[in-house]
Amino acid sequence: MKASDLYNPLVKTILKSPLHGVMSDDTMLLTFTGRKSGQTYSTPINYALDGNRVTLITNRKHGWWKNFEQDAPVTVQLRGQERCGVAHLVPADAGALIGAMIDVYHGISYEQAAKLAPKVVLIRIQLN
């Protein structure tokens, strides 16, 4: 059993509850439909919010980001509210990835972000 098998259900429950404030300043729940499977998936993920635009970073090894190679509808549980939007993968150079990681992962250094940049992808959500 992976650690995420225990961690993710607990985080999902907290993010959907009145206790969301303990996590929701930097973690949200992303729900989307698999492009091939048609199944609904929900995953907790760190984010940065700028107005109605949400920025996400994920490791390339996690294949779920491929669902956003084309614009795709999503639902997010964000700071205690369920909101809808459209997510898409953003082709980004190293500089853009580093900047996004610094926005999303508070406290990460430029050097750490630069080291991780080749391993991550950038996803943006435009909220309705």
Backbone angles phi, psi at 42, to 5 degrees: -130, 135
**Domains of the chain and CATH, by start:** 3-127 (2.30.110.10)
pTM above 0.85, yes or no: yes
Sheet of strand 27-33: strand arrangement: 40-46, 27-33, 72-78, 81-90, 120-127, 53-59, 48-50
- What SS3 state is found at 115? helix
Cβ neighbors of 34 (< 8 A, separation 6 or more) are 40, 41, 64, 67
Distance, in Å, from the CA atom of 56 to the CA atom of 66, rounded to the nearest integer, reads 13
pLDDT tens-digit profile of 1-30? 455 555 688 888 888 888 888 888 999 999
pLDDT tens-digit profile of 102-122? 999 989 999 999 999 999 999
